[in-house]
Amino acid sequence: MINYGARTCLELGPIIDSDAYLDVVNIDQYDMIIGTPFMHKHKLVLDFDHNTLSIQGTQLTMMTSGQEDLMLAKKCVLRVCVPRSEGQQTRTSH
């Protein structure tokens, strides 16, 4: 469920949007999920046959599902194991 929205400056590769609207939701493992309205506005194209993402004509190779799983596992470990600095609370995952 979407409870909040925010307007912010967003930089994503060649995309610079000084007034981007974002819905704010708890999506646990992911930093951001890009929806089709954003993709259409900024000319992002997914090519599943070639495993690429085109951003305004620049092609990037996407991660495989195994690479994504490894990255998410590493992020999860870092969230639990961040050392506490003096005067800072320890952050743990849920």
Write out pLDDT tens, residues 7-19.
Answer: 999 888 888 999 9
Cα angle vertex 13, ends 92, 29, to 5°? 25
What CA–CA distance (Å, rounded) separates 87 from 12? 33
Write out pLDDT tens, residues 49-62.
Answer: 888 889 888 888 88
Q: Are 82 and 73 in contact (CB under 8 A)?
A: no
Prediction pTM value: 0.57
Assign 31 a pLDDT band (cuts: 50, 70, 90): confident
